[in-house]
Copies of this chain bind each other. A is one copy, B any other.
Amino acid sequence: MFKNFVLIAAASGALAASAAAGRAADPQEAVTTFSLENGMQVVVVEDHRAPVLQHMVWYRVGSADEPVGSSGVAHFLEHLMFKDTDNMKSGELSATVAANGGQDNAFTSYDYTAYFQRVAADRLGLMMKMESDRMTHLRLTEGDIATERDVILEERNMRTENNPRALFSEQMNAAQYLNHRYGVPVIGWKHEMEELDRADALSFYHTYYAPNNAILVVSGDVTPDEVRTLAETYYGVIPANPDLPPRIRSQEPPQRAARRLEFRDARVAQAYVNRSYLAQERDPGAQREAAALYLLSEILGGGQTSYLAEKLQFDQKIAVYTGAFYNGTTLDDTTFDLVVVPAEGVSLDAAEAALDETLRSFLRDGVDPEQLDRIKLQLRASQIYERDDVAGIANRYGRALAVGLTVEDVQAWPDLLQAVTGDDILAAARTLLRREDSVTGRLMRYEEVTQ
């Protein structure tokens, strides 16, 4: 399975009740939502252009919900979900999907774990039969545990231990979060992964895998009524877990000291500077600041015409690459990241000083209205293109609902982005660029060590 370690996290707050079925407001996204009696949320996105569909189950649990000392168990369980159940043999689900001409996979992030299949539209019942089976009937043998633990450790070796940028990113996150679990990597700390056992996996499974902690998303050639009938048949019979714990996480204390770190590794081909700030995420009914931050990331570092690129790459020729990254679809405070890769012969000190000077000049200059209009136009265009990607739409709703946003929040987001003004962006930048909330990291080759 590929694992999509989205380096993001999302808005706390209760899920808005969507018990009453209702057709979504936006006529261009045919989204219907309702809930089953056991509390399982359902989102249906109709698209009848081709006889295929995507079936997803999102659990509102991710690595940031793991017990202390058991980092990686959310992702470990994701792997184990492909093993024996009372009714299926290990690997049978994926083999059945493939035999039916489909594809399946799963991914884990800080805030959610999701399973999905893409199949012909008439196979929806079969998908639900298998997915609902592993929601409650997972069997785990000690042999599965030992085998799959080796697999996730090898995955960590491949993706993290052998990748200085991934290791650097882990250390940046750990420094960014003083108290919140986003400081712990999704895949887990190696020494804790090595200790994960059957009891850890089963405890996590029995606590969090239940219909009242799940969101069903079906997109494609299907009607809401068809989905409802099948969902009631397969998922509706599973009892809610009455002991599902409230989703309460340790929050950040005030961050009072700017941090810096240097990561040195002989395998680094290209040194760079990464500045990260703690940042507001999208909250239900309160997404304006996140919208402004999203546009700020586009304006500062969203490509070759961005402010950082113009100043540092083209005017001053200090950098060969610049970028800004923000993803607000998280349950709790997220990060806003800036990256500067210095040009040959430019020191990291000089690159960082230029970054800071450029941020100051941006705060003085303000937002170029033409650039903002251009970005908004591109956004509008890409949102229209996105409507052709039903898998993307399903992901968008599933992710948002998994982090506590509502269907209304998802549908309000494009217009909120269009309504952001240059002053909003500048105000968001002033709030964001607080030294005390920042970590400045340098990824360096070993030979650059000066002492």
Contacts and interface: CB of A to CB of B under 8 A. Distances in A.
A192 B257 contact: no
A167 interface: yes
Interface in A220-265: 248-251, 253, 255-264
Most buried by B among A170, A171, A436: A171
A260 B263 contact: no
Given A257-B262, A260-B260, A250 B69 contact: yes
Nearest to A181: B68
B256 A191 contact: no
Given A167-B256, A257-B171, A250 B190 contact: no
Interface stretch (A172-180, A343-351, A387-395, A398-406): A172-180
A427 B189 CA distance: 29
Copies in the complex: 2
B184 A257 contact: no
A47 to B, nearest CB: 42
Interface in A61-82: 68-69, 71
B68 A250 contact: yes
Nearest to A171: B257
A220 to B, nearest CB: 40
A28 to B, nearest CB: 42
A150 B255 CA distance: 23
A276 B408 CA distance: 49
**Is the interface on chain A under 10, 10 to 19, 20 to 34, or 35 or more residues?**
35 or more
A274 to B, nearest CB: 11
Nearest to A195: B248
A445 to B, nearest CB: 14
Given A171-B178, A179-B189, A183-B178, A257 B250 contact: no
A262 B260 CA distance: 9
Contact of A179 (B174, B251, B253, B263): B174
Given A68-B68, A171-B255, A191-B253, 18 more contacts: A68-B181, A69-B248, A69-B249, A69-B251, A71-B179, A168-B256, A171-B178, A171-B256, A175-B175, A175-B257, A190-B253, A191-B251, A192-B253, A257-B261, A257-B262, A258-B261, A259-B260, A356-B451
17 contacts: A68-B249, A68-B250, A69-B248, A170-B253, A171-B255, A172-B257, A174-B178, A174-B179, A175-B178, A179-B183, A189-B253, A192-B253, A256-B263, A257-B263, A257-B264, A259-B261, A264-B436
